[in-house]
Structure 1
């Protein structure tokens, strides 16, 4: 297991949203501190999984397929890294969004 140096320390995480379970996020967000550029929500396979997957947006397939580069976090933790996601967290499974460059807003990617 690789020891990670997270951008935010535990004491910096505040309660921004109600508890809604866990999600996946890449180290580009949690370690490097970059903003979320792409996110999608899939039907979860585990009870505590809310289905959200968060990416900076430039991660390669090799990067994402290396489990050392991804972690499971509470949605509140990821909201602390990038509060711009908060208005979108109740969107249904199957939703895919990308950040509108230069803004704190996301747009739905049509299926």
Structure 2
């Protein structure tokens, strides 16, 4: 039994920097690639302390349930259904948490975020 909630049923697995998993760093970059296996949802999650050299060593990446990644950083729930090719940055500042499209530099509007089926009845309708 997992020690984290199932935020998104059957959300699959993703590749995550061990710095995120261990808490050495916080989620900063999220990239969605083509799936490499049936259980792979394509998300690649990296931390604010990862370097190119660190990420070049595949031993520094770990396959985890997407729900486990969401338990570490709940903001990931909102990006679940973004398409392959998505490149995002999670920015924390004095005004809060922002998810930025790394290719355009624009903040993703909250109405674009995924809302889990169980939460849809409680969520305001998308405009």
* 8 A contact 1:100–1:106 mirrored in 2: yes
Q: 4+ residue stretches of structure 1 with deviation over 4 A?
A: none
Q: Which structure is richer in relative contact order (CA contacts within 8 A, separation 6 or more)?
A: 1
The TM-score normalised by the length of structure 2 is: 0.72
* Total equivalences in the alignment: 102
**2: CA distance between counterparts of 1:65 and 1:45?**
18
Deviation at 1:44, TM superposition (A): 1.2
Deviation at 1:11, TM superposition (A): 5.9
The TM-score normalised by the length of structure 1 is: 0.81
* 8 A contact 1:51–1:93 mirrored in 2: yes
CA RMSD of aligned residues (A): 1.8
Q: Deviations over 1:18-69 (max 9, x none)?
A: 2211100011110125321111001112111100000113311221122221
